[in-house]
């Protein structure tokens, strides 16, 4: 009773033809399998990450796009493990909603803004001198 979730299902950079399975306004920018695992394990799912697996439609072979998350959605008798997540789509929407709130995501955003501000001033271009 395990379902598979690939990062491409939640990626807002992908089209539906490339594998996105949720609406683009709810999708996340380049999620990783570890982020999906963190979010689902925190809510109480039985989670397994397979690092070497890849989404078949993914043309990019980078490590960032690898991995798939297996989540136990239902028990052996067919009842949902967690009543608030009866379907695979509900799990995907929850993961996409929660991933941007992760500490790793918020710290990256803050560090990026600081580096941009530091690099701006004091740049003098070397132009051609007038004759």
Domains of the chain from N-terminus onward: 2-106 (3.30.56.30)
CA torsion through residues 36, 40, 41, 47, sign: negative
Q: Confirm if 25 and 112 have CB atoms less than 8 A apart.
A: no
pTM of the model: 0.76
User: How confident is the model over 49-90, as pLDDT tens digits?
Assistant: 999 899 988 888 888 888 999 999 898 888 889 999 999 899
**Residue 5 pLDDT:** 92
User: How confident is the model over 88-126, as pLDDT tens digits?
Assistant: 899 999 999 998 888 887 776 665 554 444 444 445 555
User: How confident is the model over 21-39, as pLDDT tens digits?
Assistant: 999 999 999 898 999 999 9
């Amino acid at each position: 009773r395990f379902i598979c979730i690939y990062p491409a299902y939640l990626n807002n950079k992908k089209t539906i033809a490339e594998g996105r399975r949720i609406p683009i306004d709810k999708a996340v920018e380049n999620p990783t399998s570890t982020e999906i695992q963190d979010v689902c394990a925190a809510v109480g799912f039985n989670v397994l990450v397979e690092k070497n697996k890849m989404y078949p439609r993914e043309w990019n072979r980078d490590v960032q796009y690898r991995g798939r998350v297996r989540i136990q959605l239902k028990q052996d008798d067919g009842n949902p493990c967690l009543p608030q997540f009866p379907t695979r789509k509900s799990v995907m929407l929850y993961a996409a909603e929660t991933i941007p709130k992760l500490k790793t995501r918020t710290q990256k955003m803050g560090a990026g803004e600081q580096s941009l501000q530091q690099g701006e001033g004091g740049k003098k271009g070397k132009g051609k001198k007038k004759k």
